[in-house]
A and B are shown apart, each in its own frame.
Chain A
Amino acid sequence: MTTPSSSTSVTETPVASSTGAPREARTGSLIGDGLTVAKRNLIKIRRVPDLLIFTTLQPIMFVLLFGYVFGSLAGSGASVQAGYREFMMAGIFTQTIIFGATITGYMMAEDMQKGVIDRFRTLPMHPSAVLFGRTLTDVVNNIVVLVVMSVTGLVIGWRVHGGPVKALWAYVLMLFFAYALSWVFAYIGMRVRSPEVVNNASFMVIFPVTFIANTFVPSQNMPSVLKTIAGWNPVSTITQSARENFGNLYSMQAPGQTHAQIDKQTAYTWALQHPNLYTLIWSVALLGIFLPFATSAYKKAVAK
């Protein structure tokens, strides 16, 4: 995505001038400028207590709360409850990284409001670098979150049964979907411009969307309308894919229930039968729509 002008200007004389004479700066590359912006965002996450808690303590708390509180609903036996904890890990992973994508919306809105975007837009930066750096920060943040949650999961008995390659793919697919979502929120953040509104609105939307899915309970037992929504909800397909790839699909297997029966019951829509493909289609479609939307919104973005 490097523009021709930037690749030629990189070869120009370096701008180091101890003389103090005015001279022309260079236009930057997408990667270089993007990394500078990402670094700035990460410093910010480290300095804002709310965000730091969001990325570290909250995931631990969620794993423990959902694992033990909902786990007690699953049945009274210790092994049944342990089975639930393994089952819900894929769901809690999915919900948390989707919430992670909203940080971009919040921070873009804040940067718009405070004039930081104005400053960036008067610098000779690559025009897509701010958005690239911003969304990249979410990926880094989500990786940290996934590590924290995985370790917490391992402590409470979660195990991967599907092999390292499949497990890695599960993580990659989650991150890719969340990345696409970051672009959606980047666009929303620039249009809405109020960090608080972005925060509240995204909570109002994401909370139900991540619950009307197979994240915390098997969705095939939901009432019919919810069951259908959950069956086509990409949150369900990411969870389904992760559950399959972690080898956690049969963690809640009831006595006498076969794997084939579970497969049939949980994968009750085309989407759930092809969770990887369906999730990829969603991710690519979101990126296809919102990457250009957000890029064009950024080019016109001015404070107030």
Chain B
Amino acid sequence: MTDAVTAEGLVKHYKDVKAVDGVSLRVPEGSVLGVLGPNGAGKTTTVRMLTTLIRPDAGTATVAGADVLRDPQAVRRQIGVSGQYAAVDEYLTGRENLEMIGRLYHLSGKEAKSRAAELLGQFRLEDAAGRPAKTYSGGMRRRLDLAGALVARPPVIFLDEPTTGLDPRGRGDMWDVINNLVGHGTSVLLTTQYLEEADRLADNIVVIDHGQIIAEGTADELKAQVGGERLEVTVADAARLSEAAEIMRTVGAGATETDEHTRRLIVPVSGGTQSLLQAVRAFDDQSITVQDIGIRRPTLDDAFLSLTGHKAETDTELELVGESA
């Protein structure tokens, strides 16, 4: 098997809502796939189908070579799952939680104990190990939940929005943890609403919206779909906009956008920093005062916006037209 996870045409409808409407994806062994999409896009439903929690209405899927529909127990033996609701047992201590999960993966009592101790150390939960999880902060609960997914060292791990609801510091912590602990040959499918998160953690990304995959590729490929680098300049004096536009035309590799109101000019460039320097010299030669100048690389946010037609992290249907199609 070269693919840790494969899904072919997964469909799940709830009444008349098409939660997932024909999703196909694959996670090559040892790689991290980021499933990126806004709230309600169908990410969690997809994960629930792949982790045997719900049966798809149509489609097939395999995890670690086992058929999700025909042999769910074989799938469960090889996966670790960490959910967005941090399903830790509030009344058990951190240690008891991990030991229980170890026992349910059928480690011996001794193995479960030593594995729990090991994970508590790795996840910086040693000090809180003897306290009921009820007393944990949001970030600690997430770490404990993630530790639970790793107890049996499963070859395939599903992380459903592992950082949703965490503050930026907690998120950064989780990223470090995921990068450090999840690597080592483990295959990961990770869902997220955060473009930055997908960029940071995933080898490959699929963008999902309204239950369908609308784009896939590496972070760089997705960014490339939105277009390359752009030079952005804001001039101090509106009277000199036409002269500035002339400079942009010579430096740029395409049509210049001019916004007279903000005195801003944007042009696609192909030379990167060289184009920037060339522009700076030209503006300086003609004594045009520049308030702001820079090369802007498209972010995944730009990619998301242009792919879905609406901003990430919102449900609202904004009628925004992508800057480049």
Contact = CB atoms under 8 A, between A and B. Distances in A.
Interface of A: 5, 14-17, 20-28, 32-33, 36, 39-40, 43-44, 47-48, 114-116, 118-125, 300, 302-303
Interface stretch (B87-95, B210-218, B229-237, B286-294): B87-95
Contact of A40 (B48, B81, B92): B92
Query: Which 10 A-B residue pairings sit nearest by Cβ, starting from the closest?
Result: A115-B87, A22-B155, A119-B87, A115-B85, A122-B81, A44-B91, A124-B77, A26-B106, A124-B76, A25-B105
B148 A119 contact: yes
B90 A43 contact: no
B153 A36 contact: no
B78 A24 contact: yes
Given A28-B106, A36-B100, A302-B53, 6 more contacts: A16-B108, A24-B77, A26-B77, A44-B92, A115-B87, A119-B87
B89 A116 contact: yes
The number of chain B residues touching the other chain, given as a range, is 35 or more
Contacts of B132: 47
Interface of B is mostly: loop
Interface of B: 48, 51-54, 73, 76-79, 81, 83, 85-87, 89-92, 96, 100-101, 103-108, 111, 132, 148, 152-155, 184-186
Given A114-B90, A115-B87, A122 B51 contact: yes
A125 B185 CA distance: 25
B79 to A, nearest CB: 6
Q: Give the dominant DSSP class at A's interface.
A: loop
Contacts of A15: 105-107, 111, 152
Contacts of A300: 54
B51 A36 contact: no
B87 A114 contact: yes
B306 to A, nearest CB: 32
A118 B104 contact: no
Nearest to A110: B90
Given A36-B100, A302-B54, A23 B108 contact: no
Contacts of A25: 77-78, 105-106, 152, 154
Contact of A124 (B86, B106, B184, B185): B106
A16 B104 contact: no
Nearest to A127: B73
B106 A21 contact: no
